[in-house]
Chain A
Amino acid sequence: MNLKRHLMWVTAVAVAATSFQACKPRGAGSAVAGNAAERTYVPPGQYDEFYNFVSGGFSGQMSVYGLPSGRLFRVIPVFSVDPEKGWGFSEETKPMLQTSHGFVPWDDLHHIEASFTDGMPDGKWMFANSNNTPRLARINLKTYRTDEIIEIPNTGGNHCSPFTTENSEYVIAATRFSVPPDGPESDVPISSYKENFKGHVSFVSVDKETGEFDIAFQLKTPGVNFDLSSAGKGVSNGWLFMSCYNTEQAHTLLEVNASKNDKDFIMAINWKKAEEYVKAGRGKKQTNVRYAHNKWDEHTHSATHEIKTEVTVLDVTEFDDLVYLIPCPKSPHGTDVSPTGEYIVGSGKLAALIPVFSFEKFQKAIANKDFEGERYDGVPVIKYESALHGEVQKPGLGPLHTEFDDKGNAYTSFFVSSEVVKWRIKDLEILDRQPTYYSVGHLMVAGGNSKKPYGKYLVAYNKITKDRFLPTGPELCHSAQLFDISGDKMELLLDFPTIGEPHYAQAVPADLLMDKSLQIYDINANKHPHKTNGESEAKVERNGNTVRVYMTTIRSHITPDVIEGIQLGDEVYFHVTNIEQDWDMPHGFAIKGANNSELLVMPGETTTLKWVPDRVGIFPFYCTDFCSALHQEMSGYVRVSPKGSNVPISSYTGEKAE
């Protein structure tokens, strides 16, 4: 082999290697900061700086992580049953998942947003939306449980939600799929979209003290798809900005037909004005709607479910000063308002630039009636240039969502080019770009949607994981990537796996929440109708074929633990009261053959398992949550006799009752 030939081979291999590298979505390890391990390591016994509440997407749940460690602390069931907590299985929790369509065990939780006071997370609640059967949920940050779920009428899929106003006066719900309003008139040809399909934007009020939801009013709009929204704050408080796509009003092959217009819209809603019109009685009562309103009561340890049948609707085309459209290229996803409230960033997912609108210029345009010649289905359209602050040129491909830091910078996620781009709001100059692995959707800066972002950390929530973790078959976890954004350049610190698909997240400083976390339910405040107030009250009662077992648990025995006189055909309700009053001392309850899961009962709480025995015999039951050295002894027996048997109802623990 001569030298020349040798050289040629080396060159060929080198070229091949380079081009192979180029095809792969950029090399991995090089981007990681040198001391990343040190900066994300939280030593045993110490705490993370931030709670990170992360949407669980198609899992229907919400998870709680620590930052910067990326450790998972808790998964909170919101729109889905959860065997770990008996959520949706115990008799008390079943009503939470009821809808006007019946029991929905699994939905698609999209976004979450914190409750705000003066534009800052106040540590009271997290809000979440379900995208399929449209609902809103409120999660309690003392108990880390879902306290309330309300269904949204006149709505196809509640995607554009649960974004809240500066003081969480309202949580927003808006339809992704415009549909004809609810009622018998909605039986129309699908091809009649343009005439018959409407958007609805719901303003769900939140009681400042209890948090209780009420659909204060809905705005009926032209039929388009609403994607995301962001409430005004500071100078723009009182307004809501929502991205609209499918302004083509296509009803089929949206991939092509809803991608034709060069510009879609950001819809700007003057919600304070809407409040005034509703107060003045300008809304119409619609009474052919049906929507569920489910509430959890912390004292009865039970949920209630009711169906409501009325909502107040304002048709936006009947008002000249309620809603305006701002043209925005092209099929916008994120519509994000800067911390001061002055700038509105549209992230057009098919656009090659990022338009940034100025609230001040937008207000001037309204005052000067700087409108396009034609309204869009009756709604005035502001001239693009009149509201524009400027455009970020060549930012990347597929901008989706933008958040902000505490230094006047914005961070935009790019799905197609798999990167996060940092740019300065004032002069729209790009300052840094870092690759993500891969295809980032939403991103989150700690407090990045508030008036005073905490900054420091950014998390990119990526849709594609591919080669980042040990493979687990066809389905892989979605990944989160933590960046330190305190310096000029963003530094990648950590990858961590997530649950379901994290569409959005919130980060709240640990010290805002950790001291408020509930440790036990006070047994003296327990108002459950079937509470057992101490072992002396434990008993079994028959009423027809309904048998109620009033049962207590404490380390480490169940009372009663010998139960006889149950017959085939009985419906047995085990009302288990955990009489522990110590933190982190739940007891579980499981009985052989139960078709309906198990229970996990917190200290001071009463929870119910319904059991219908299917055969004669002896059925063991036991505590499922390891509680003490004698946990394995925490068990008992139920005897099931044939129907009509003369074995009397009896029960005891320790010694046979006379």
Chain B
Amino acid sequence: MKKLIIFFAIGIFIYACSNNSNQNSSTSSRNSSSKATTSDYDPKRGEGKHDKVELGDKLDAKMAEEGKTIANLKCASCHKYTDEKLVGPGWAGVSNKHQPEWIMNFITNPDPMIDKDPELQAQLEICLVRMPNQNLSDDDARKILEFMRQNDGVK
């Protein structure tokens, strides 16, 4: 929790700085997704505020159930829960393939990651549709991650 708070604090600080530097006297400008150099991009963690995601050894079934409800509304239009590709890739195996931090960052912060992540750029060449930002809260995202784990056989 402490870590999370520190991370938020840093986040706000960075945001405040970037806002400031973009101000000028008569007109203001704000960029939503700043294109930083990709050199500091960590392809294991992705980019976003999720630095460390704690997973339980066992599945939190209630959480997974709630995650499924959210996924049915916001994700299932494009993702099947099998390995079959629809608009985007199927979800089978996704929680084994990626770090939880990467998943949480990607689904809450898709646009900057699509611009930088080598695997996402390769996916974009296949799908040609950028994954929409579905405005998931951190809580929503964590529940969806739990559902992905359930989908991948975690009991």
Which of A44-52, A256-264, A444-452, A610-618 is the contact stretch?
A: A44-52
Q: Is B135 a contact partner of A555 (Cβ separation < 8 A)?
A: no
Q: Is A559 a contact partner of B28 (Cβ separation < 8 A)?
A: no
Q: Which of the residues B72, B76, B129 comes within 8 Å of A628, measured between beta carbons?
A: B129
Q: How many residues of A contact B (CB 8 A)?
A: 33
List the B residue with the shortest CB-CB distance to A603.
B135
Please indicate the chain A residues that have their CB under 8 angstroms from the CB of B133 in the complex: 581-583
Chain B proximity mask over A626-639: 1 for CB below 8 Å, otherwise 0: 00111000000000
Q: Is B128 an interface residue (CB 8 A)?
A: yes
Q: Is B73 a contact partner of A49 (Cβ separation < 8 A)?
A: no
Q: List 5 A-B contacts (CB under 8 A).
A: A510-B28, A534-B76, A535-B72, A555-B78, A580-B134
Q: Is B49 an interface residue (CB 8 A)?
A: no
Q: Is A511 an interface residue (CB 8 A)?
A: yes
Please indicate the chain B residues that have their CB under 8 angstroms from the CB of A524 in the complex: 73
Q: Is A48 a contact partner of B27 (Cβ separation < 8 A)?
A: yes
Known contacts A520-B135, A554-B78; 5 further A-B pairs (Cβ under 8 A): A45-B29, A48-B27, A522-B135, A579-B77, A582-B134
Q: Which of the residues B28, B72, B86, B87 comes within 8 Å of A534, measured between beta carbons?
A: B72
Chain A proximity mask over B95-139: 1 for CB below 8 Å, otherwise 0: 000000000000000000000000000000000111011111000
Shortest CB distance A37–B (Å)? 14
Chain B proximity mask over A573-605: 1 for CB below 8 Å, otherwise 0: 000000111110100000000000000000000
Q: Which of the residues A43, A523, A582, A630 comes within 8 Å of B129, measured between beta carbons?
A: A630
Measuring CB to CB, which residues of chain A are less than 8 angstroms from any residue of chain B?
A: 42-43, 45-49, 510-511, 520, 522-524, 533-536, 552, 554-557, 559, 579-583, 585, 628-630, 654
Q: Which of the residues A47, A559, A581, A654 comes within 8 Å of B74, measured between beta carbons?
A: A581
Q: Which of the residues A46, A555, A580, A654 comes within 8 Å of B27, measured between beta carbons?
A: A46
Q: Is B87 a contact partner of A557 (Cβ separation < 8 A)?
A: yes
Please indicate the chain B residues that have their CB under 8 angstroms from the CB of A43 in the complex: 27
Shortest CB distance B24–A (Å)? 8
Q: Which of the residues A533, A536, A582 comes within 8 Å of B135, measured between beta carbons?
A: A582
Please indicate the chain A residues that have their CB under 8 angstroms from the CB of B135 in the complex: 520, 522, 581-582
Give complex CA distance A630, B29 in Å.
Answer: 31
Give complex CA distance A523, B134 in Å.
Answer: 10
Q: Is B73 a contact partner of A533 (Cβ separation < 8 A)?
A: yes
List the A residue with the shortest CB-CB distance to B131.
A555
Q: Is B27 a contact partner of A554 (Cβ separation < 8 A)?
A: no
Q: What bracket does the count of chain B residues touching chain A fall in?
A: 20 to 34
- Asked whether A654 and B76 contact (CB < 8 A) given A555-B129, A581-B133, the answer is no
Give complex CA distance A43, B129 in Å.
Answer: 30
Please indicate the chain B residues that have their CB under 8 angstroms from the CB of A556 in the complex: 87, 129
Please indicate the chain B residues that have their CB under 8 angstroms from the CB of A533 in the complex: 73
Q: Is A523 a contact partner of B73 (Cβ separation < 8 A)?
A: yes
- Asked whether A47 and B27 contact (CB < 8 A) given A533-B73, A581-B134, the answer is yes
Shortest CB distance B78–A (Å)? 7
Give complex CA distance A581, B77 in Å.
Answer: 13
Give complex CA distance A113, B101 in Å.
Answer: 49
Q: Is A535 a contact partner of B74 (Cβ separation < 8 A)?
A: no
Please indicate the chain A residues that have their CB under 8 angstroms from the CB of B27 in the complex: 42-43, 46-49
Shortest CB distance B82–A (Å)? 13
Give complex CA distance A654, B80 in Å.
Answer: 12
Chain A proximity mask over B27-58: 1 for CB below 8 Å, otherwise 0: 11111000000000000000000000000000
Give complex CA distance A316, B17 in Å.
Answer: 60
List the B residue with the shortest CB-CB distance to A535.
B77
Q: Is A46 a contact partner of B28 (Cβ separation < 8 A)?
A: yes
Give complex CA distance A583, B29 in Å.
Answer: 18
Please indicate the chain B residues that have their CB under 8 angstroms from the CB of A534 in the complex: 72-74, 76-77
Give complex CA distance A534, B71 in Å.
Answer: 9
Q: Is A559 a contact partner of B77 (Cβ separation < 8 A)?
A: yes
Measuring CB to CB, which residues of chain B are less than 8 angstroms from any residue of chain A?
A: 24, 26-31, 72-74, 76-78, 86-87, 128-130, 132-136
Q: Is A536 a contact partner of B132 (Cβ separation < 8 A)?
A: no
Q: Which of the residues A510, A552, A557, A628 comes within 8 Å of B130, measured between beta carbons?
A: A628
Please indicate the chain A residues that have their CB under 8 angstroms from the CB of B128 in the complex: 628-630
- Asked whether A536 and B72 contact (CB < 8 A) given A555-B132, A628-B129, A630-B128, the answer is yes
Please indicate the chain A residues that have their CB under 8 angstroms from the CB of B26 in the complex: 49
What are the 8 A-B residue pairs with the smallest beta carbon separation, nearest first?
A534-B73, A581-B135, A46-B29, A582-B133, A581-B134, A554-B77, A46-B27, A629-B128
Please indicate the chain A residues that have their CB under 8 angstroms from the CB of B29 in the complex: 45-47
Please indicate the chain B residues that have their CB under 8 angstroms from the CB of A520 in the complex: 135
List the B residue with the shortest CB-CB distance to A39.
B26
Please indicate the chain B residues that have their CB under 8 angstroms from the CB of A559 in the complex: 77
Give complex CA distance A555, B74 in Å.
Answer: 12
Give complex CA distance A496, B136 in Å.
Answer: 41
Give complex CA distance A554, B135 in Å.
Answer: 14
List the B residue with the shortest CB-CB distance to A68.
B26
Shortest CB distance A625–B (Å)? 14
Please indicate the chain B residues that have their CB under 8 angstroms from the CB of A45 in the complex: 29, 31
Shortest CB distance A555–B (Å)? 5
Give complex CA distance A585, B27 in Å.
Answer: 26
Shortest CB distance A624–B (Å)? 18
Please indicate the chain B residues that have their CB under 8 angstroms from the CB of A557 in the complex: 77, 87
Give complex CA distance A533, B69 in Å.
Answer: 10
Q: Is B87 a contact partner of A579 (Cβ separation < 8 A)?
A: no
Shortest CB distance A553–B (Å)? 9
Shortest CB distance B19–A (Å)? 11
Shortest CB distance A181–B (Å)? 52
Give complex CA distance A536, B69 in Å.
Answer: 11
Q: Is B28 a contact partner of A47 (Cβ separation < 8 A)?
A: yes
Q: Is B73 a contact partner of A579 (Cβ separation < 8 A)?
A: yes
List the B residue with the shortest CB-CB distance to A42.
B27
Give complex CA distance A328, B9 in Å.
Answer: 62
Q: Is A654 a contact partner of B86 (Cβ separation < 8 A)?
A: yes
Give complex CA distance A630, B78 in Å.
Answer: 13
Please indicate the chain B residues that have their CB under 8 angstroms from the CB of A49 in the complex: 26-27
Give complex CA distance A511, B23 in Å.
Answer: 12
- Asked whether A554 and B132 contact (CB < 8 A) given A523-B73, A534-B72, the answer is yes
Give complex CA distance A583, B87 in Å.
Answer: 20
Give complex CA distance A555, B78 in Å.
Answer: 8
Give complex CA distance A580, B136 in Å.
Answer: 11
Give complex CA distance A628, B130 in Å.
Answer: 8
Shortest CB distance A538–B (Å)? 10
Please indicate the chain A residues that have their CB under 8 angstroms from the CB of B136 in the complex: 581
Shortest CB distance B17–A (Å)? 18
Please indicate the chain B residues that have their CB under 8 angstroms from the CB of A654 in the complex: 86
Shortest CB distance B152–A (Å)? 21
Q: Is B86 a contact partner of A536 (Cβ separation < 8 A)?
A: no
Give complex CA distance A127, B128 in Å.
Answer: 44
Give complex CA distance A38, B142 in Å.
Answer: 50
Give complex CA distance A590, B87 in Å.
Answer: 22
Shortest CB distance A524–B (Å)? 8
Give complex CA distance A654, B87 in Å.
Answer: 11
List the A residue with the shortest CB-CB distance to B111.
A582
Give complex CA distance A585, B72 in Å.
Answer: 19
Q: Is B77 a contact partner of A552 (Cβ separation < 8 A)?
A: yes
List the A residue with the shortest CB-CB distance to B124.
A629
Please indicate the chain A residues that have their CB under 8 angstroms from the CB of B132 in the complex: 554-555, 580-582, 585
List the A residue with the shortest CB-CB distance to B29.
A46
Q: Is A579 a contact partner of B28 (Cβ separation < 8 A)?
A: no
List the B residue with the shortest CB-CB distance to A41.
B27
List the B residue with the shortest CB-CB distance to A538.
B77
